[in-house]
Structure 1
């Protein structure tokens, strides 16, 4: 399936999900993540903050889990820069102030910057992924550029409300593949 077609159909399916279904699948994603990965062994976990109107996975369930259990992992979140093409990353704590940007994405205010090389794992937003670890996002390339700044051994973990499609036919060499993808029903490992 081509990325553009997959992007349209996946976004349409996700938008049709009731909020209660997004919440339930997000809870299942959290359960899968913490049962398949030793999150407490990581020093830094990068997590995106969800855009509720896009019915993205509710990563606040993961964030609160870390904080409530006082896990030793530190959290970092992305902020889109004024150039509209790059991300910077900031420390997220229970006391971090947040404001919504022009796209409705919460961003930290006054938090310390985190360098991509510090990260042990990155949770990646996506619309769809395939059985080979290729992914389809919103098409802006933010995460492809960002992931190239990370260490080669960083875990690139997608969060998907849906199972994979068999194959994305127009994946190209500039696409940074996933190490794994967490779905409500299980985890796909890609051995990278």
Structure 2
């Protein structure tokens, strides 16, 4: 199956969950708990996470928990050269990107090498950690050079095996699935 068709399936499944708020909230709560008790989270001082769109897994509780534990939270900003991560606080100002995602307006830039854990978004995942994102290959380029740990918080509705991995696709180290 082509990635365009896979993206459509992924978006449809996420939108279905969005319309079934109680199911989504329950799955999110289980995913947060699983993440927060995992060694990858506990050992991370600097956590990279995207500010989610309403139909995606809500990443706000991840940020809040990170700050409560004294972690540094960094959020990507899209540039012509790829993703650049910026440290944020609860008071950070965000602007909407061309992709409709909220990105930090002006914050301290953090090098990729300083990030311990990268929580990677996606539309569709294979059980072995390969993913299909929104297109553009931004996270594949980041993951190619990333030395820290990576994970994704995935709804079972996002697992789909009927697509081909391409040479530039990069794996996520660990999937938390509910």
Q: So what's the TM-score if we normalise by structure 2?
A: 0.87
Q: Distance in 2 between matches of 1:137 and 1:12?
A: 14
The alignment's C-alpha RMSD in Å is 2.0
Task: Trace 1:6-85 onto structure 2 (pairs within 5 A).
Answer: 6-17=6-17, 18=19, 20=21, 21-52=23-54, 55-67=55-67, 70-81=68-79, 83=80
> Residue by residue, what CA displacement relative to the aligned partner does 1:79-109 show, whole Å, maximum 9, x if unpaired?
111x2x6111100112222222233311112
Does the 8 A contact of 1:43 with 1:120 survive in 2?
A: yes
Q: So what's the TM-score if we normalise by structure 1?
A: 0.82
Gaps of 5+ in 1: 185-192
**Aligned to 2:31, what secondary structure does the other structure show?**
helix
Gaps of 5+ in 2: none
Q: Distance in 1 between matches of 2:118 and 2:26?
A: 22
Aligned: 1:88 with 2:90? no
Task: Trace 1:1-192 onto structure 2 (pairs within 5 A).
Answer: 1-17=1-17, 18=19, 20=21, 21-52=23-54, 55-67=55-67, 70-81=68-79, 83=80, 86-151=82-147, 154-162=148-156, 165=159, 167-184=161-178
Q: Distance in 2 between matches of 1:23 and 1:104?
A: 23
